[in-house]
Amino acid sequence: MKITNAKVIVCSPGRNFVTLKIYTDQGVYGLGDATLNGMEKAVVSYLEDYCIPSLIGKDPRNTEDIWQYFYRGVYWRRGAVSMTAVSAIDMALWDIKGKMLNTPLYNLLGGKSREKVMVYCHANGKDLSETMEKVGSEINKGFKAVRVQSGVPGIEHTYGVSKDSKFYEPAHKGLPHEESWETSKYLNFVPTLFKKVRELYGDNIHLLHDAHHRCSPIEASRLAQELEPYHLFWLEDPVSGELQEGLRLIRQHSTTPIAIGEVFNSIYDYTTLITEQLIDYIRMPLVHGGGITHLLKVAAMASVYQINTGFHGATDLSPVNLAAAIHFNTAVNNFGIQEYMPHQEIVNEVFKTNYRFDDGFLTIDDSPGIGVDIDEKAALKFPYSMARLPVNRKTDGTMFNW
Ligand code: CS2
Ligand code: MG
């Protein structure tokens, strides 16, 4: 069996998506998500100029060897752009494998460990009362887990709060917008936010919060400690993850579970965090973390340390990634939770999906492979338009983490 061709489909039904399509001499093709929000064209070039020429002629069934070829075989390895390309290739090859064996992807990953996967949604508002309303409406939709983000008094625009109370999309058309931030105001406000949620909605709803890389280790330790009475399901990205040992301090001060890694792209970003049990959930998604082949290894390593999966699943990861993630989550034993921000309706004009949301859970059907298809003609109606993630400065002008 041989790979005969591959192409990259870039489209923008509501937002930019990048999809890799790999063709074989058996007439079967596979899809992989190659979307990297704000850096889409870099991945397109890496795939078209560096990966695809070497893919042609390879046997698509050799997922392990092809993964190693594009990881170990590359001198300048790792990084978000190259690993997103590797992930897309890997996802497409597993899609082909499932189609050739006429079985859904989860059957190739160990079969069903569960019938459905618990998801969490986003609830955000410009202030406390709008956020409380949004939490209530998400609970009414059946979600058992809600990520709560709110505007912070005294900060003009806070991460995670959508402008139009519909879809939260952080990328803006054109060059990066500048946002401003003040950690002290944020730290003073967040415990009040969760006190209010618990008062209104009780203890049974799982609550999550994303600090989005914005605290120092000692600030994160304070926040995690002050949130303990509200029993969060997790506090996400409390610090920026480059300094893995920085999370030791949080562990010393708090029992609030920690999730990290949506910006990670290989197991090497996790080694200290996992082996020292500094985290409770791995966020690195299939689309940025080396695909199914690599995440199987990461999830296996995490399971030894009783760490569960909690994959990133924002709307800037495509339906191909989400479907593959549901297969993965259906199969692995140490599944924790899956982020689920429903894509805009218009996305369904391009991507034909095979998953269903019902009462707080997602299920995947038994279509062979990943089971999502792309309507290339429809994709042409939505051409790429440049959009960038914001940059963030502290109120004194210092460049900071967005
Ligand atoms: C966020 C994302 O969903 C999350 O946890 O961190 O919304 C993230 O900001 C975007 O994916 C960036 O493109
Ligand atoms: Mg996040």
Ligand 2 centre to CA of 275 (Å) is 22
pLDDT tens digits for 270-305?
A: 999 999 999 999 999 999 999 999 999 999 999 999
Provide CB contacts within 8 A for 28, sequence distance 6+: 96, 99, 100
Among candidate residues 122, 212, 294, 327, the one labeled active-site is: 212
**The dihedral formed by the CA atoms of 130, 177, 173 and 51, expressed in degrees to the nearest 10:** -110
279 vs 334: CA distance, rounded Å:
14
Report pLDDT for 373.
98
Angle between helices 291-304 and 80-100 (to 10 degrees): 100
Confidence of residue 346 (pLDDT cuts 50, 70, 90): very high
pLDDT tens digits for 25-69?
A: 999 999 999 999 999 999 999 999 999 999 999 999 999 999 999
171 vs 38: CA distance, rounded Å:
7
Q: Above 80 in pLDDT, residue 79? A: yes
Instruction: Tell me which of 39, 161, 177, 210 to substitute to probe ligand 1's pocket, judged by most ligand atoms within 8 Å of the beta carbon.
Output: 210
**Residues within a 6 A CB radius of ligand 1:** 37, 170, 210, 212, 236, 262, 312, 314, 316, 339, 389
Instruction: Tell me the average pLDDT of the chain.
Output: 97
287 vs 315: CA distance, rounded Å:
13
Kindly state the tokens that stand for 30.
């596979």
Tokens 């078209």 belong to which residue? 48
Q: Above 90 in pLDDT, residue 164? A: no
Q: Above 70 in pLDDT, residue 4? A: yes
Domain boundaries, the chain: 3-104, 108-369
Classify residue 268 by its DSSP letter. G
The C-alpha R_g of the chain, in whole angstroms, comes to: 20
Q: For 108-369, CATH number?
A: 3.20.20.120
Q: What is the mean pLDDT of residues 75-103?
A: 98
User: Looking at the domain covering 3-104, what would its CATH class be?
Assistant: alpha beta
* 159 given a catalytic annotation: yes
User: DSSP string covering 216-256, please?
Assistant: -HHHHHHHHHHTGGG--SEEE-SS-TTSGGGHHHHHHH--S
Ligand 1 centre to CA of 314 (Å) is 6
Confidence of residue 165 (pLDDT cuts 50, 70, 90): low
Confidence of residue 243 (pLDDT cuts 50, 70, 90): very high
Ligand 2 centre to CA of 268 (Å) is 19
Report pLDDT for 166.
62
